[in-house]
């Protein structure tokens, strides 16, 4: 494959003749401009406005990029109206049911699912990089014990730039590959150490014979003084959670990674930027916020009060785990996790988990409520992941970290796609200026 592979192929698919016409009334004179219409393989057509300013002197205005495609991508497709999520053409439900997380990582990075041999080789390659530089471990010790693990992750992932000088050059394909492998291999180790540090336990080294999800659970929960066996049901559930969070096209954190690296910044710094963006409660921080909300509700009898608050325009409260910028139907990832949630609780012998009871009741009431129906607010992936993670013994503050572990695959794949795309240029949005016009300066002693 050359630099111009699938994304380029998608671009050239659009019939050259298809155009839209913009008509302006300027000083009583009508002016028309023709803008090319691009077609992807799936999804809506895209009006190519790259020459709009040069031709017309106008910008477009789209806060939150609700109607703006910022790039070509061949990794993930979402049909929000019908609740469909595909990675490289494969349904998320199939990948979550049948694939090891590293198979999905391979798929996102190398465009095809691996053969058995390719999978084993890839697992081996990853396992060569799971250890952290011992000096990096000193960074953890500089944080307060009560630091939020996402704060630690932003710091230590960014610090990788200071350790791996031989994989910072994003224009070098070998270095890009090495940086990708390092990030994917080290992120679970980094996340588990953040947790171990917070509880004062010794850090566990990775166990390379284990699968990716198992190894993560091992580093989280094993202690050197005991033999620790990872429960296969929990390992399967963790694998599924990782697969479901691997990528989600141009969401806030992925767009952050792309924007940061569009300036040529090194990959470790860009992934740290992605982690920072993911932290917010409207994005990856939502799974933590769901648990906090369920705990605050505390009892099924208080659900109507919270539903009422969620609907009140004057109350900033939102029902966490509901709604999505793209899905206007059930989030397919939430469907998979809903099932997984029951499996995990059964395996762990957790009957009558009160928070799950509140969650299911909340789901029922919200799905029947005209406010949520009209606004197409369905439970999203974060609604169930928090309950499963809590049952597994993962502390709430680690939920978003886990999301970051999984999403590192997506960030890395999207970053590489961007660097390999000849069309990519530095991201530099425009603005509508609403400040002062030029005015006269007054020195301090005259103001
Ligand atoms: N509870 C109550 N009302 C809501 C909610 C909610 N969770 N979400 C959206 N609305 C209302 C919103 O007030 C607005 O009402 P109106 O049209 O009267 O102004 C309408 O629904 C449309 O919402 P929006 O804010 O324009 O939608 P958005 O696309 O900008 O926001 C969202 C999407 C996910 C940020 C939002 O739904 C939300 O804050 N949800 C709760 C947080 C959450 O669960 N986030 C996880 C997202 S999934 C994980 C990920 O991909 O990162």
Q: What is the pLDDT of residues 321-375, one digit of tens each?
A: 999 888 888 889 998 988 888 788 888 888 777 888 898 899 889 889 999 999 9
Three-class SS of residue 308? Answer: helix
Q: CB–CB of 286/380 below 8 Å?
A: yes
Tokens of 159: 């610090």
| For ligand 1, mutation pick of 323, 369, 402 (most atoms within 8 Å of CB) | 323
Gap between the Cα atoms of 394 and 392, Å rounded: 6
| pLDDT for residue 403 | 94
Query: Of 337, 339, 343, which is closest to residue 386 (Cα–Cα)?
Result: 337
| pLDDT for residue 342 | 79
What's the start-to-end Cα distance of the chain, in Å? 64
Say how many Å lie between the CA of residue 385 and the centre of ligand 1: 18
Question: Atom 30 of ligand 1 has which residue's CA nearest to it?
Answer: 325
Gap between the Cα atoms of 106 and 101, Å rounded: 9
Say how many Å lie between the CA of residue 78 and the centre of ligand 1: 17
Question: Atom 28 of ligand 1 has which residue's CA nearest to it?
Answer: 325
Q: CB–CB of 190/156 below 8 Å?
A: yes
| pLDDT for residue 15 | 55
| pLDDT for residue 176 | 95
Query: Which residues partner with 22 through β-bridges?
Result: 33
- Cα angle, residue 248 at apex, residues 246 and 250 outer, rounded to 5°: 130
| pLDDT for residue 267 | 96
Tokens of 418: 């961007």
Which is the closest atom of ligand 1 to the Cα of 321? Answer: 44
Which is the closest atom of ligand 1 to the Cα of 325? Answer: 29
| pLDDT for residue 347 | 84
Gap between the Cα atoms of 92 and 327, Å rounded: 14
Say how many Å lie between the CA of residue 375 and the centre of ligand 1: 9
Question: Atom 24 of ligand 1 has which residue's CA nearest to it?
Answer: 325
Tokens of 290: 């769901």
Residues with CB under 6 A from ligand 1: 248, 251, 282-284, 286, 310, 318-325, 375, 377, 380-382
Contacts of 437 (CB under 8 A, 6+ apart): none
pLDDT in tens, 156-181: 999 999 999 999 988 999 999 999 99
Which sequence positions are flagged as catalytic? Answer: 324, 382
What are the CA-CA distances from residue 403 to residues 63, 121, 250 (Å)? 26, 25, 16
Q: β-strand 76-79 against 90-91: which pairing, if any?
A: unpaired
At 199, give phi and psi (nearest 5°): -105, 5
Residues in the chain, pLDDT under 70: 1-17
Say how many Å lie between the CA of residue 128 and the centre of ligand 1: 41
């Amino acid at each position: 494959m050359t630099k111009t592979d699938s994304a380029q192929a998608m671009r050239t698919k659009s019939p050259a003749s298809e155009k839209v016409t913009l008509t302006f009334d300027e000083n009583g004179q009508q002016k028309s401009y023709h803008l090319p219409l691009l077609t992807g393989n799936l999804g809506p057509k895209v009006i190519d406005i790259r020459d709009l300013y040069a031709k017309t002197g106008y910008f477009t205005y789209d806060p939150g990029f609700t109607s703006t495609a910022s790039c070509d991508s061949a990794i993930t497709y979402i049909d929000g109206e019908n609740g469909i999520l595909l990675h490289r053409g494969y349904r998320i439900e199939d990948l979550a049911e049948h694939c090891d997380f590293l198979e999905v990582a391979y798929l996102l990075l190398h465009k095809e699912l691996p053969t058995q041999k390719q999978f084993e080789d890839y697992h081996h390659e990853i396992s060569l990089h799971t250890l952290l530089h011992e000096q990096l471990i000193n960074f953890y010790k500089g944080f307060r014990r009560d630091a939020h693990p996402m704060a630690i992750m932003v710091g230590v992932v960014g610090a990788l730039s200071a350790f791996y000088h031989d994989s910072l050059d994003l224009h070098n394909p070998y270095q890009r590959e090495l940086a990708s492998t390092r990030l994917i291999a080290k992120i679970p180790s980094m996340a588990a150490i953040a947790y171990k540090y917070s509880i004062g336990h010794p850090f566990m080294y990775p166990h390379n014979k284990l699968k990716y999800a198992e190894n993560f659970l091992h580093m989280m929960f094993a202690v050197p003084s005991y033999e620790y066996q990872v429960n296969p049901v929990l390992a399967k559930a963790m694998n599924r959670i990782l697969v479901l969070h691997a990528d989600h096209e141009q969401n806030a954190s992925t767009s952050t990674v792309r924007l940061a690296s569009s300036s040529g910044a090194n990959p470790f710094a860009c992934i740290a930027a992605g982690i920072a963006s993911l932290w917010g409660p409207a994005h990856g921080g939502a799974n933590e916020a769901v648990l906090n909300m369920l705990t605050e509700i505390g009892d099924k009898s208080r659900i109507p009060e919270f539903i009422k608050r969620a609907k009140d325009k004057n109350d900033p409260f939102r029902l966490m785990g509901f709604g999505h910028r793209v899905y206007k139907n059930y989030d397919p990832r939430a469907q998979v996790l809903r099932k997984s949630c029951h499996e995990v609780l059964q395996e762990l012998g957790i009957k009558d988990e009160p928070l799950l009871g509140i969650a299911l009741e909340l789901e029922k009431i919200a799905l029947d409520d005209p406010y949520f129906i009209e606004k197409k607010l369905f439970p999203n992936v974060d609604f169930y992941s928090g309950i499963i993670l809590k049952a597994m013994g993962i502390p709430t503050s680690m939920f978003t970290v886990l999301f970051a572990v999984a999403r590192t695959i997506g960030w890395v794949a999207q970053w590489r796609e961007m660097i390999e795309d000849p069309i990519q240029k530095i991201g530099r949005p425009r603005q509508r200026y609403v400040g002062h016009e030029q005015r006269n300066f007054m020195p301090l002693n005259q103001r």
